[in-house]
Amino acid sequence: MILDDAESEALKQFLSDQLEPICEADPKVLAEYVLALLKHDKPNQDLRQLGTKELEDFLKDQTEPFVRRLFETLATKDYLRGRSSAPANDSHLSPQLVSTLTTSTDRRPDTRSEHVHSTRH
């Protein structure tokens, strides 16, 4: 599977967020391991099987749900949209993105649409 640097970083953060609540290993280290598994030049079905086999020692009964969720996320690229259900931690985001996210969730009234009275009769 081919991932560019930006995709790899976003996916690594997503993986770390997903792995933290389901394993005892360091989620960042395990996320890097999952990325290494994904970089094998194999069809997705083979990568799924490899991931399931290699992660079973770490994730136990959470392995299959994790691998299924991983490949669903890879297909939709949701990891690029920051749809992780992990706690908010903006330290990995660019300042511009944080600003955009903060502005888009700002709930102050919109003062740009002041009432304009028409003078036409």
Residue range 24-39, pLDDT digits in tens: 999 999 999 999 999 9
Distance CA 57, CA 60 (A): 6
Q: What is the pTM of this model?
A: 0.65
**Average pLDDT value for residue range 74-82:** 88
The pLDDT of residue 36: 95
Q: CA 121, CA 112: separation in Å to the nearest integer?
A: 25
C-beta neighbour count of 27 within 10 angstroms? 19
What is the third-level CATH fold of 5-82? Endonuclease III; domain 1 (1.10.340)
pLDDT of residue 121: 52
| pLDDT of 18 | 96
